[in-house]
Amino acid sequence: MEKTIFHRILGRELPADIVYEDEQVMAFKDINPKAPTHILFIPKEYIASITDLTPKNAHIPGMLILKAKEFATANKIDGYKLVFHVGRGGGQEVFYLHLHFLSQERLPKGVGDTA
C-alpha cells in the first residue's frame, strides 16, 4: 500500500493546521477549502473508503461524526455540513476515509492558526 497524504500528515512528515487530535482522530484544515471553515476528520486507523468498512470497523464513521459534533460545540459553531465522499465517482480524491466538516462560520481566532 502506498502512503496517502493523510498517512504522511498523521506521521508528521507533512505539515498541517491541526485543530483537534486525540488517540483515535486527527482533524486539520483542508488545504483547498470549500467554505470559510473546512476541516477534515480522519481516523488514526486506516480505512481506504466507506466501501472498505467491515463489521469490525463499521463504528468509525459514526465516531468521526461524534468528534465533529463535539468540535462544533467546543468552538461554538451552530451550523455545518458533514460529507463523506465515496469512490472516485463520488468525488473521493484521497483514499483514506475522511469526513469533511464545512461551515460558513469561521473558527474562533487561534484555533488551528500556525505561527
With beta carbons less than 8 A apart as the criterion, state whether 43 and 90 touch. Answer: no
Could you confirm whether 98 is annotated as catalytic?
yes
Q: CA 76, CA 79: separation in Å to the nearest integer?
A: 9
Torsion of CA 45, 111, 15, 29, to 10 degrees: 70
Which among 38, 85, 98, 100 is annotated as catalytic? 98
With beta carbons less than 8 A apart as the criterion, state whether 44 and 51 touch. Answer: no
Question: Where in the sequence numbering do the catalytic residues fall?
Answer: 98
